Chain A
Amino acid sequence: MEMNLKYFGILSEITGKPDEWLESPAETVGDLLEELNEKYPAMKLVPCQVSVNQKLAERVSILRKGDEIAILPPFSGG
């Protein structure tokens, strides 16, 4: 299933890109994060939130083909 991922903050540095289309067997947000943690090990160190189609999602949220998934850490600087 193909999905559209967007990375924010330090995650775009860890992945080396601001976004990507990913072909993934992940059925839930939790599955997807596990897959990404393997693909980009440094991501494990960054607690982050996930939104699906511009809405904050839970780890158990179900993913569908073509979903726009944003992965974002909180920022602290000021």
Chain B
Amino acid sequence: MNEHYERYQRHFTLTEVGEEGQERLTRSKVLVIGAGGLGCPVLQYLVGAGVGHIGVVDGDQVSLSNLHRQTLYTSEDVGSDKSTVAGAQLAKLNPMVKISAYTEFLNLELALKLFPDFDLIIDGTDNFDSRYLINDAAVIMGRPFVSGSVFRHEGQVSVFNYQEGPTYRCLFPQQDRPGFGCAETGVLGPVTGVIGSIMAMEAIKVLLDIPGVLSGQLLILNTLQWASSQLSFSRKEEQVALAKTRVSHLQSFTHVK
């Protein structure tokens, strides 16, 4: 049995993947922004699944307080660049995948340079500035993106700008609001694991055209009660247009995570 067939054997028996789907994954290119609590499971599953080219953007270094939830790193990695360590770990997981590590925080210039080279963007960042930046660059470059976020024991997941679907601004139009990161609110490791895994599932659905993509739908999951809610929303052209005009304002951010 050759390595390719054995590695992806569990995909071949699925009608949603099969040999044709696996070939599609191999030709796919995904850019993951943020290699933290959400980014780690997304990266692990997409590299495991054999996505052909994975980009990792993160300007942060591994710290001890990351290790309870950021499963790509070990105690020995503390102080090292996350994207470099993640890239090395992921290469061990699946050497058939091309991995590009970018050891800088996303800014507009980098986003506009990188997004055209990838089919799908993953937002695993931890602050609103980055979330609006990713939205706006994705709208400008015409790329769909999978977005996940957490607040303590709850998480939200949606897929934006997918096949002319609604964008992040169509759901959350206001800016300049206070954000709460995991550092301030605290988080249990499995919460980002669960939400990141849902994001990886959505990414695979987008790449393989599997029906049921969370486009125009926000999934909200409470991991204490396991209560899930979904709400639907539609595209608002004025918000899409706003994303395009915000570029000049966003240029003032030089250190956006």
> Which A residues are in CB contact (< 8 Å) with B192?
78
CA–CA, A75 to B220, complex, Å? 10
Verify A74–B172 contact, CB threshold 8 A.
yes
Verify A74–B230 contact, CB threshold 8 A.
no
Within the complex, which residue of A9, A47, A56, A76 is in contact with B232, where a contact is CB–CB below 8 Å? A56
> Which A residues are in CB contact (< 8 Å) with B5?
none
- Assuming the contacts A9-B154, A10-B151, A49-B171, asked whether A78 and B231 have C-beta atoms less than 8 A apart, the reply is no
CA–CA, A61 to B180, complex, Å? 29
CA–CA, A54 to B233, complex, Å? 9
Which residue, A51, A54, A78, has most C-beta atoms of chain B within 10 A?
A: A78
CB nearest neighbor in A for B230: A54
Instruction: Mark A44-78 against chain B: 1 for CB-CB distance below 8 A, else 0.
Output: 01110101001110000000000000101111111
Verify B229–A76 contact, CB threshold 8 A.
no
State whether the Cβ of B187 lies closer than 8 Å to any Cβ in chain A: yes
Q: Which of B30-38, B105-113, B207-215, B244-252 contacts A (4 or more CB under 8 A)?
A: B30-38
CA–CA, A77 to B34, complex, Å? 11
| Cβ of A54 to closest chain B Cβ, rounded Å | 5
- Assuming the contacts A47-B174, A56-B233, asked whether A74 and B128 have C-beta atoms less than 8 A apart, the reply is yes
CA–CA, A56 to B126, complex, Å? 24
Instruction: Mark B132-154 against chain A: 1 for CB-CB distance below 8 A, else 0.
Output: 00000000000000001111101
Within the complex, which residue of A8, A47, A77 is in contact with B220, where a contact is CB–CB below 8 Å? A8
Verify A76–B220 contact, CB threshold 8 A.
no
Instruction: Mark B107-126 against chain A: 1 for CB-CB distance below 8 A, else 0.
Output: 00000000000000000111
Q: Which size class do B's interface residues fall under? A: 35 or more
| Cβ of B135 to closest chain A Cβ, rounded Å | 11
Verify B38–A78 contact, CB threshold 8 A.
yes
- Assuming the contacts A47-B174, A49-B172, asked whether A76 and B233 have C-beta atoms less than 8 A apart, the reply is no
Instruction: Mark B206-243 against chain A: 1 for CB-CB distance below 8 A, else 0.
Output: 00000000000000101001010111111000000000
CB nearest neighbor in A for B257: A78
- Assuming the contacts A76-B179, A77-B150, A78-B37, asked whether A51 and B126 have C-beta atoms less than 8 A apart, the reply is no
Verify B149–A55 contact, CB threshold 8 A.
no
Interface pairs (21), CB distance under 8 Å: A9-B151, A9-B152, A10-B151, A10-B180, A18-B225, A49-B172, A54-B229, A54-B232, A56-B233, A72-B231, A74-B172, A75-B149, A75-B156, A75-B180, A76-B181, A77-B180, A78-B36, A78-B125, A78-B148, A78-B181, A78-B182
Give me the interface of B with A, judged by CB distance under 8 Å. Answer: 34, 36-39, 124-128, 131, 148-152, 154-156, 171-172, 174, 177-182, 185, 187, 192, 220, 222, 225, 227, 229-234
Give me the interface of A with B, judged by CB distance under 8 Å. Answer: 6, 8-10, 18, 45-47, 49, 51, 54-56, 70, 72-78
Q: What 17 additional pairs, Cβ within 8 angstroms, besides A72-B231, A77-B181?
A: A8-B220, A56-B171, A56-B234, A70-B231, A74-B131, A74-B156, A75-B149, A75-B150, A75-B155, A76-B127, A76-B151, A76-B180, A78-B38, A78-B39, A78-B125, A78-B181, A78-B182
